[in-house]
Amino acid sequence: MPELPEVETVKNILKEMTLGKKIKSVDVLRKQTIEGDADLFASSLIGETFSDFGRVGKFIIFFLTNNKVMISHLRMEGKYFLKDEKEKLTKHDLVVFHFTDGTKLIYNDTRRFGRIKLSSIEDYMKEEPLSKVGPDPFMMKDSKILEKAFKNKSIAIKTALLDQSIMSGLGNIYVDEVLFATKVHPETPAKLVSKKQLNEIWKASIDVLSNAIKAGGSTIKSYHPKQGISGNFQVNLKVYGKKDGTCPNCGCKLRKIFVNGRGTTYCPHCQKNPAIPTLIGVTGPIGTGKSTVTKYLEKHGYFAINTDEIVHILYKEKSIQNDIKKFIPNLKIKGSDIDRDFLRSYLIKNPNKKKRLEKYIHAKVVEQVEKLVKVSKKPCVIEAPLLFESGLDLICDKIIYVDAKKDTQIKHLESRKSDVKSSLELNKNYNTSNKKKATHIIINDKDVANLYKQVDSIFCK
């Protein structure tokens, strides 16, 4: 469906092609396309001239002589063609305006959802459909209309912005672009979007729409009337329709969801929903005190998500086992579970398969963690040594990296009766450069009271 920028472009092309043309007669080939009496519509237009063109939301306004106004909405597939009289009509030509200069303007619509209505200069804004169309972002002086309308609305901000009676002009494509530009999660309850964010949404709407209008403007020059004026132009889109793409800001994989039935693409990292509890990631090498930090947060009301447990459950699922069998065909199943002893020794012998399995299972774990956070009533904490490698970092709101000197690590490992030598060996390969990606770093070289104090200081801020 064409959106505001495309409709604006169609309007501009129509103006360039038909301004000043005088109507000789009108043929309505499908009466339902006309709102109101089709015969009266046709006879009223005889002898009138197209004197100007306008647009309200996604409606094209034809201003005619004698204070007459024609309103056209293209809906899904509506198109206008300007042709010579001698050219034959085609199957989906629904309304034909014959001009006195030997040309004709044809309204063509394969889906037949488009509508045309005749009104007058006095009434066209007062009666439906235009009486129900809110101002577009270009007509607004500020974002007060949005503030007022969304104040008590629990519906998703995307759905609220698509409601043309509040602010018109954003359709499914550009609303995704605007929400991406303003870093607002499309499912955020409208009332939780701050005044500051609403102001940004309004401004971004102007930016996004005017860029698209500019892009459409350049197509006017190359426009060929035979192609029909459909308004489906290619515009520079960042997220819409790019569900397999990556975020141009953070590199995170974009995600597609459905919001009130409408396909929606967004970045799970850049666009956070404040209605979903926060997720704190705790990471760092072995023996630094990650578990102590996690348990401390748990004691203070956080829900601890255990990734080992998630993997355990996932491995028992038949669909997961079948997926893994696609790249490890001889995978052994013990009872209903994957044979862990087999898997461990197999992966040691096949490092490439190990990488493949990790990539696969990490994505599944991230999915499960997101689901758990979404239904959690409390803020959540997740402890994962490979937080960055697994992609879990991208869904965390805060990341605490716990570090400690080697001596401290040994002390911790000994007190836990862990295998000190093999743990330190694992730590040798630990990617410490991820530390700079963390939002908070805790150095745990003093006592536990000091550790707690450092955690407290993060949350006091």
Could you say whether residue 249 binds Zn ion (CB under 5 A)?
A: yes
Could you say whether residue 424 binds Zn ion (CB under 5 A)?
A: no
Known catalytic residue: 248? no
Shortest gap between Cβ of 19 and Zn ion (angstroms)? 45
Among candidate residues 11, 21, 55, 58, the one labeled active-site is 58
Taking the least distance from each CB to Zn ion, the nearer of 166 and 267 is 267
| Bridge partners (DSSP) listed for residue 73 | 115
Could you say whether residue 361 binds Zn ion (CB under 5 A)?
A: no
End-to-end CA distance of the chain: 47
8 A C-beta contact, residue 291 and residue 306: no
Shortest gap between Cβ of 238 and Zn ion (angstroms)? 10
CA distance 138 to 145: 13
User: Of 71, 247, 381, 399, which lies in the binding site for Zn ion, with binding defined by CB under 5 A?
Assistant: 247
Taking the least distance from each CB to Zn ion, the nearer of 71 and 267 is 267
Shortest gap between Cβ of 274 and Zn ion (angstroms)? 17
Shortest gap between Cβ of 366 and Zn ion (angstroms)? 15
8 A C-beta contact, residue 290 and residue 386: no
Among 165, 184, 167, 223, residue whose Cα is nearest residue 6: 223
Known catalytic residue: 3? yes
Nearest to Zn ion by Cβ — which residue?
A: 247
Binding footprint of Zn ion, residue count (CB under 5 A): 7
Dig out the tokens for 263 from the structure: 């396909």
Which residues in the 171-200 window bind Zn ion by CB under 5 A?
A: none
Separation of CA 127 from chain center: 34
318, amino acid identity? K
Buried-exposed string 275-292: b where 16+ CB fall within 10 A, e elsewhere: ebbbbbbbbbbbbbbbeb
Shortest gap between Cβ of 398 and Zn ion (angstroms)? 17
Among 157, 161, 175, residue whose Cα is nearest residue 238: 175
Could you say whether residue 252 binds Zn ion (CB under 5 A)?
A: yes
Per DSSP, the three-state class of 179 is: helix
Could you say whether residue 250 binds Zn ion (CB under 5 A)?
A: yes
**Phi-psi map region of 72: left, alpha, beta (phi>0 left; psi -120 to 50 alpha):** beta
8 A C-beta contact, residue 380 and residue 300: no
Taking the least distance from each CB to Zn ion, the nearer of 328 and 387 is 387
Which residues in the 261-280 window bind Zn ion by CB under 5 A?
A: 267, 269-270
Taking the least distance from each CB to Zn ion, the nearer of 267 and 387 is 267
Taking the least distance from each CB to Zn ion, the nearer of 282 and 395 is 395
Known catalytic residue: 274? no
Residues that bind Zn ion (CB under 5 A): 247, 249-250, 252, 267, 269-270
Q: What residues are annotated to the active site?
A: 2-3, 58, 262
